[in-house]
């Protein structure tokens, strides 16, 4: 039993950060044991936003359960849907048309950009700079408008269906994405000018929250969190899905392992995403956007697993099918949960103010952790 309030026998102060704390991005509850201002232990408490999504999926058909995963990691909802669609296609052995593959990758990279933009703004706000938040939301709005035009929604798109995408690209899509890329390239330079080189920001980030490559692997960290420690774990490179194998892009890694390294990985990933979009936007193959599928999808008996790289790390979908129209069991491997487990290790020995910086660079989305 963890003590939740007061002082321990050793005279350490126990403080509750959250669940209603502005800098915990939602309902994350951290029980922090403090010696003076130094962190001795961080204990995350989960369960405040548990919606039993995995159980819900068991009563939904293979077309219906995809939309629920948008509600897990809502910032990269498109990529979550993508993972589910891939898993169903694997089970049904549906061949996705090349046009749908290209559209999926394009949308996924746009989602990654939008997610990283929001992370950048929110993290700078945690550190204490309010201006970047408005800058980030201005650019994110442009992506949201593109999504709204083609997918029909801004955040929970539900654009993926098993066998392709729900609708063809909007005629304006290519023009607007090119406009956005030109516009955003200049803004990325502004991001660097405003935050990356700032001396206050650097001194808050450098050397804080060190995570060694060995620890990153043993805690199961993925995504920019692990790549900031020099662990190569990009699913897009290691196990290429859709058209990622044919594209030229680099897996961004840094060796620092501290908050600043993780920050720089995400900043460079935005540039890589831009380059992926530029390679694809003029080379979208013609053809169908959706494969012909049966009206009722029935997965054969067996177990299926597929994984994708979301903006936060590896997202896995594991389906056990008994041959019916609904899954027997679904398990989601969410990146946020594993990344959060390393928080205690990273925060020990640092000041309480640094805890917010570490959490910011982990890019936590609470409904993803606690689904």
Partner 1 sequence: MFLKKYISDVFGAVRSLLKGMRLTGYYFTHRKEIITQQYPDNREEMKLPERFRGEVVMLHDEHNEHACTGCTACELACPNGTIKIITKFDITPEGKKKKALDTFIYHLELCTMCNLCIEACPTDAIKMAQNFEHSVYDRSELTKKLNKPGSKIREGVE
Interacting residues with partner 1 (CB under 8 A): 60, 63-65, 67-68, 131, 138, 141, 148-153, 156, 158, 161, 166-167, 170, 190, 193-195, 197-200
Would you say 65 or 244 has its CB closer to partner 1? 65
Would you say 5 or 295 has its CB closer to partner 1? 295
Would you say 138 or 271 has its CB closer to partner 1? 138
Shortest distance (Å) from residue 24 CB to partner 1: 26
Shortest distance (Å) from residue 60 CB to partner 1: 5
Would you say 36 or 197 has its CB closer to partner 1? 197
Shortest distance (Å) from residue 273 CB to partner 1: 22
Shortest distance (Å) from residue 42 CB to partner 1: 31
Shortest distance (Å) from residue 269 CB to partner 1: 23
Would you say 159 or 304 has its CB closer to partner 1? 159
Q: Which residues contact 184 (CB under 8 A, 6 or more apart)?
A: 113, 139, 142, 274
């Amino acid at each position: 039993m963890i003590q939740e309030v007061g002082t321990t026998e050793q005279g350490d102060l126990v403080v509750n950060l959250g669940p209603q704390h502005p800098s915990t991005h939602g309902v994350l509850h951290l029980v922090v044991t403090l010696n003076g201002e130094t962190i001795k232990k961080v204990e995350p408490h989960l369960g405040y936003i548990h919606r039993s999504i995995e159980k819900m999926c068991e009563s939904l058909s293979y077309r219906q359960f995809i939309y629920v995963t948008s509600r897990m990691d809502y910032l990269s909802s498109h990529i979550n849907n993508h993972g589910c669609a891939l898993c169903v296609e694997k089970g049904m052995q549906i061949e996705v048309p090349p046009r749908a593959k290209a559209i999926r990758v394009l949308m996924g990279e746009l989602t990654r950009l939008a997610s990283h933009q929001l992370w950048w703004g929110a993290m700078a706000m945690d550190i204490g700079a309010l201006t970047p938040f408005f800058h980030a939301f201005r650019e994110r709005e442009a992506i949201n408008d593109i999504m709204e035009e083609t997918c029909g929604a801004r955040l929970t798109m539900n654009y993926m269906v098993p066998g392709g995408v729900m609708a063809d690209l909007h005629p304006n899509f290519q023009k607007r994405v090119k406009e956005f890329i030109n516009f955003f390239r200049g803004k990325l330079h502004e991001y660097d000018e405003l935050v990356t080189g700032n001396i206050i920001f650097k001194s808050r980030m450098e050397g804080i929250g060190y995570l060694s490559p060995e620890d990153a692997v043993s805690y199961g960290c993925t995504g920019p969190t692990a790549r900031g420690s020099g662990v190569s774990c990009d699913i897009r490179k290691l196990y290429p899905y859709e058209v990622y194998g044919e594209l030229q892009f680099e897996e961004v890694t840094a060796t620092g392992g501290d908050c600043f390294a993780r920050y720089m990985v995400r900043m460079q990933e935005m540039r890589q995403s831009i380059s992926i979009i530029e390679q694809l936007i003029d080379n979208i193959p013609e053809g169908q956007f959706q494969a012909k599928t049966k009206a009722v999808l029935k997965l054969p008996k067996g177990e299926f697993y597929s994984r994708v790289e979301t903006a936060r790390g590896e997202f896995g979908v594991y389906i056990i099918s008994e041959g019916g129209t609904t899954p027997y069991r679904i398990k989601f491997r969410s990146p946020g949960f594993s990344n959060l487990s390393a928080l205690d290790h990273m925060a020990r020995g640092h000041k309480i103010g640094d805890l917010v910086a570490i959490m910011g660079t982990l890019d936590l989305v609470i409904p993803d952790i606690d689904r």
